[in-house]
Amino acid sequence: MAHPEIIVVTAAYGTHKVAELGGQTALLPLIKAAGADGVEIRRELFSEDDLLQLHSLNKAIAQQQLSASYSVPEALWLEDGSLNPRLGQFLLEAEQMGAKRLKIALGHFVDLSDASLVEVLAASPVTVVVENDQTPDSKLAPMQTFFHRTCDAALPLDMTFDMGNWQWTGEDAMQAAAQLSRYVSYIHVKAAVPHGESFRAVALDETDGSWRVLLQALPADAPRGIEFPLEGEDLLAVTRHYVDLLRAV
């Protein structure tokens, strides 16, 4: 069986480190040298000028022979249950940088009555992958309802399964995997531990290893994105270590 694609999420290096190293484009050679197959670009790490240079980013990603994913820190459905009016804009940005998928949170899903969703999705070659984030809107029940309905409607929407975010919503990740794995086409590999009244993401080597069991409950061919902290004196060595680890699991 072919190994799954391993993707490095730029945010794994931390906002300050990304800025210190020169921005997301500057990280591409490091990510390639570490043996990764792709990069996840984060909209929240862009400056206004960066958003005007997406074609240049596209060229830089292609030069490193990496695949691209694009993450936006917004939800597909707004608090009033309406479709995010900026979805088309985000898809265009993803297309301009050559991204194959756009990751967005679920938000407050009510129903699929907005016909413009079909039109917006059909107008773009980019796949929208809806993620379970750390809010109550992304608990298992609403995620199940959403994907059941989109599946019945034959909408081209997949799931990004964030392994760690179920901690924040207080639910069992293995149960979520059992119920949602059929919709998953992208995995955010993340482990989290209690921190004060909440949780914090930690590197895989700092865990009890239970992430392996959860990962094996998800589609074996789904790309695996490294979204836990990548820190240390030698970022190349640290990144390569986890790229190799996830490729071997």
- Give pLDDT tens digits for 56-101: 999 999 999 999 999 999 999 999 999 999 999 999 999 999 999 9
Provide the 10 A C-beta neighbour count for residue 55.
11
Helix (H) or strand (E) holding 73: strand 67-77
The per-residue pLDDT for 132 is 98
Tell me the C-alpha to C-alpha distance, in Å, between residue 88 and each of 107, 116, 117: 17, 10, 9
Contact 88, 114 (CB under 8 A): no
The per-residue pLDDT for 195 is 87
Residue with tokens 């997406």: 54
What percent of the chain stands above pLDDT 70? Answer: 99
Backbone angles phi, psi at 97, to 5 degrees: -90, 0
Give the model confidence (pLDDT) of 178-225 as tens digits.
999 999 999 999 999 988 889 999 999 999 999 999 999 999 999 999
Q: CB-based burial of residue 26 (10 Å sphere; 0-12 exposed, 13-18 middle, 19+ buried)?
A: middle
The per-residue pLDDT for 3 is 83
> Two tokens at 242?
């986890």
Give the model confidence (pLDDT) of 125-172 as tens digits.
999 999 999 999 999 999 999 999 999 999 999 999 999 999 999 999
Q: Which residues pair with 128 in a beta bridge?
A: 102, 157
Sequence-separated (6 or more) residues with CB below 8 Å from residue 43: 70, 71, 72, 73, 90, 93
Alpha helices in 153-221 (DSSP H): 166-169, 173-180, 211-216
Tell me how far apart the alpha carbons of residues 249 and 102 are, in angstroms, rounded to a whole number: 25
Q: CB-based burial of residue 52 (10 Å sphere; 0-12 exposed, 13-18 middle, 19+ buried)?
A: exposed
Written as one letter, the residue type at 209 is: G
Question: Helix, strand or coil for residue 46?
Answer: coil
The per-residue pLDDT for 197 is 86
Sequence-separated (6 or more) residues with CB below 8 Å from residue 115: none
Residues recorded for the chain = 249
Contact 62, 100 (CB under 8 A): no
The per-residue pLDDT for 241 is 98
The per-residue pLDDT for 1 is 52
Give the model confidence (pLDDT) of 14-60 as tens digits.
999 999 999 999 999 999 999 999 999 999 999 989 999 999 999 99
Residue with tokens 């197959």: 37
